[in-house]
């Protein structure tokens, strides 16, 4: 394994540098995706609130809010996973423990929404709801 000397950190394996760079790129990408989500979909909440106050809520309002909230939950779980993939962080650090405490059971909520606890039988091997789902025999 190639090692590289840095001024402040001494010697560490180059693969750690690569993993750190990859995680930083992933964090930036996830941040931009979350900003885009909020910029383009946050109006679903306002539309639902207006519909409820006018007693005119429809299924499309509920589905828009569900989709928006699910995407935000999914983004937060991804952030947590990326943070803990950073090779310079220890999960024993107080900040990391605080993040885990703040996240609570969000991952389980995400998995339940994503996979519906595998309560629905289907022939697909992937999730029923999520970024993409391919169905055999269809394009």
Instruction: Quick: pLDDT tens for 59-109.
Output: 998 899 888 988 989 998 998 888 888 877 788 889 888 988 998 888 888
Residue 125 located in a structural domain: no
Residue 135 located in a structural domain: no
Report pTM: 0.65
Number of domains comprising the chain: 1
Find how far residue 139's CA is from the centre of its chain. 27
Residue 60 located in a structural domain: yes
Residue 56 located in a structural domain: yes
* Banded model confidence at residue 55, pLDDT cuts 50, 70, 90: very high
Integer Cα distance of 37 and 87 in angstroms: 28
Find how far residue 126's CA is from the centre of its chain. 17
Residue 38 located in a structural domain: yes
Residue 122 located in a structural domain: no
Residue 123 located in a structural domain: no
Res 138: pLDDT: 45
Domain span at 65: 13-117
Query: Do 107 and 115 contact (CB within 8 A), yes or no?
Result: no
Farthest-apart Cα atoms in the chain, separation: 66
Query: Do 84 and 91 contact (CB within 8 A), yes or no?
Result: yes
pLDDT tens per residue, range 21-49:
888 899 899 999 999 999 988 899 889 99
Residue 75 located in a structural domain: yes
């Amino acid at each position: 394994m190639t090692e590289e000397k840095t001024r402040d950190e001494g010697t560490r394996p180059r693969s750690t540098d690569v993993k750190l760079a990859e995680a930083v790129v992933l964090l930036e990408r996830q941040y931009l995706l979350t900003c885009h989500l909020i910029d383009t979909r946050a109006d679903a909440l306002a539309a639902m609130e207006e519909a409820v106050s006018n007693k005119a809520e429809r299924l499309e309002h509920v589905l828009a809010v569900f989709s928006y909230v699910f995407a935000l939950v999914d983004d937060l779980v991804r952030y947590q996973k990326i943070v803990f993939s950073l090779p310079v962080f220890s999960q024993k650090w107080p900040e990391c423990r605080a993040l885990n405490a703040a996240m609570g059971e969000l991952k389980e909520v995400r998995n339940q929404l994503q996979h519906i606890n595998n309560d629905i039988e289907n022939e697909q091997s992937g999730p029923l709801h999520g970024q993409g789902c391919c169905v055999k025999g269809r394009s």
